[in-house]
Amino acid sequence: MSHFTAIKTQIKDAAALVKALADVGFKQVEVHETAQHLYGFQGDVRAQTAEIIIRRKYVGNASNDIGFQQQADGTFEAIVSEYDRRKYSQLWLNQVTQRYGYYALMATAPAQGFTVEEEEVLADGTIRVVVGRWT
């Protein structure tokens, strides 16, 4: 039975997180109002719960569910098993966070009076976005 590790993030917007997960290959993501239990690789119910869940069948052979559990401060904590951390490591979470940042910006900029002036994907995969606001 794999041990689950909780990893703090600065992610707060569930919709932007789901879009970011799709960008890194997870098109099938569950979103729940109330946290649901995660399942281990043998289909066993685990004590860990999460509101945003990637079920094990989409994670990989002999994998566990990956979850994002909302904390009291509104952030989501990533819950990844020790076994799955080999593939879904901090590097993977950094990619998710980068994509999340893009979608969060695109969702909040117009509401704050900003328009996207320029957008460019650099050779290393970094996304450069220039926003502006006319006052």
DSSP string, 102-135: HHHHHHHTGGGT-EEEEEEE-TTS-EEEEEE---
Helices and strands counted in the chain (H then E): 3, 7
- Rounded to two decimals, the pTM is 0.87
Q: What is the pLDDT of residues 26-66, one digit of tens each?
A: 999 999 999 999 999 999 999 999 999 999 999 988 999 99
Domain ranges of the chain: 4-109
Cβ within 8 Å of residue 71, ≥6 positions away: 77
Q: What is the pLDDT of residues 72-105, one digit of tens each?
A: 999 999 999 999 999 999 999 999 999 999 999 9
Distance (Å, rounded) from C-alpha 133 to C-alpha 114? 5
38, HSE (Cβ side, Cα atoms, 13 Å): 31
Model confidence band, residue 135 (pLDDT cutoffs 50, 70, 90): low
